[in-house]
Amino acid sequence: MTDFDALLKRSFAEAHEPADDGFVVNVTHTVAKREAGLKARGYMQLGAVTIGAAAVTWGLSTFAGAVGDEFMAAAGLEVARVFSAATNAGANAATSDTTQNFTQAISAGMTQILLITAVLAGGAVVYRSTRD
């Protein structure tokens, strides 16, 4: 840099360069426009997720109203069957019929528990894959 250039820069240090001001204004405008678009997109996604959650909740409540009573009754019967088999297993350990009933009761109860666990795990996997 020559002495003249240094003198010139010091002399006009307070002056703004019009080319830089225009560039900054254009970049600021572009960034603000993009951020506004992303904000609107986020609100639309939130609205869509809310509508989807409401639809799923409505469907599950309708399904639970139709099938819930039967499911709870079946689950209660299985729990009672497992409890009965467990309490009678110690008293009648010599008979193979009681052992077979106990095994059937445990397997039926475990089947329902495994099905519910599989449904919950599958839902978690689907949720995770849609979030990625």
Of the chain, the percentage scoring pLDDT greater than 70 comes to 65
The single residue listed with the structure tokens 């250039």 is 5
Q: What is the mean pLDDT of residues 83-93?
A: 63
SS3 content of the chain, % helix, strand, coil (to 5): 90, 0, 10
pLDDT tens for each residue of 2-46: 666 777 666 666 666 656 667 778 888 899 999 999 999 999 999
Q: Report the pLDDT value the prediction gives residue 118, as an integer from 0 to 100.
A: 82
